[in-house]
Amino acid sequence: MEIVAFGVQTDERPFLERAFAGRHQVRSLSVVLNRDTAPIAHGYEVVSSDVNADLGADVLQTLAAGGTKMVAQRSTGFNNIDLEAAADLGMSIGRVSHYSPYAVAEFAWALALAVDRKIVRAARRTRNFDFRLDGLMGRDLRGRTAGVLGTGRIGEAFTRIAHGFGMDLLGWDLVENPRCAALGMKYVPRERLFAEADLVTLHLPLTDDTRHLVDAAALAAMKDDAILVNTSRGGLVDTAALVRALKAGRLSGVALDVYEEESGLFYHDRSLDVIDDDTLARLMTFANVLVTSHQAYFTDDAVGQITQATVTNVEDYLAHRTNENMLVTRGQLPAVAR
């Protein structure tokens, strides 16, 4: 069988080809799956998508009409997929329920340290042989407070690193993680976390309940010199409210690996284009803001695990088996996806 994979990064392609070698052929495409590119999948029973794919009802209908019966998404998040529509069409939808949490947690810390110690600004200066320290003063993190929203696998990995730095730990989640509590984390209402944390980091899925969790009220509650890091989903942060807070001179640093309107921007070279997203354009003008393009997961360890899980999802679909990654199985919607 030949599988078509959309949104494949150059460095990701050999991982996919090796993982499927001896099983199936893979047609790797750099274009993202959406309503314009969905017709490419005509005749392919199995399609693989990336995190920025548009798998709304209309796209799924186009795929189904072309013979697609299974979509294997190479990410944990699935807020971009209309699961009800997929079930109505009798399709199967798989994702990757987990992969190396250290990839994301370590990158979140890289971002936090970069904005705290002004590393990007310093590197730009020294490349121009400007070795002044003006405006580059950071802060020790030891003894300060890390606020972790979402203490699952990735949040726990972040917490362990924070504990190693000697930080006080505040957490917020629907279910407390006893391993985080054992490190000294105190679970508190999120309003208190926003008010007391020097470093706020987000490790939550994007749902109706978590969309714009960091809104104007949350930003107003945060310390003027707090650092905000988001390596989870862009929609967790109300970007317009964040821009207003930054314009008011608040927050000492913001590091975003995700953006709520990133689809069509991230993973593309738009350097010669006119960017009509005024909110993102304004965000990028702040010297204390660092934006990267959804790369926190992008290590050989994590990508290897993601591709292996994708192979498992495809093989289980073909063998009429199910597993923890399946969100829809031949039109049946498991309780976890409801």
Task: Give, for 46, the enclosing helix (H) or strand (E).
Answer: strand 46-49
- Active-site choice (153, 262, 321, 330): 262
Residue pair 200/193 in contact (Cβ under 8 Å)? The answer is yes
Provide the b/e sequence for 8-45 (b: ≥16 CB within 10 Å): beeebeebbeebbeeeeebebbeebbbeebbebbeebb
Radius of gyration of the chain (CA): 21
CB-CB neighbours of 218 under 10 Å: 23
- Active-site choice (144, 190, 233, 260): 233
Query: Is 262 marked active-site?
Result: yes
What is the DSSP code (8-state) at residue 232?
S
Residue pair 49/6 in contact (Cβ under 8 Å)? The answer is yes
Strands 145-149 and 92-94: unpaired
Tell me, rounded to whole angstroms, the distance of Cα 202 from its chain centroid: 10
Active-site residue set:
233, 262
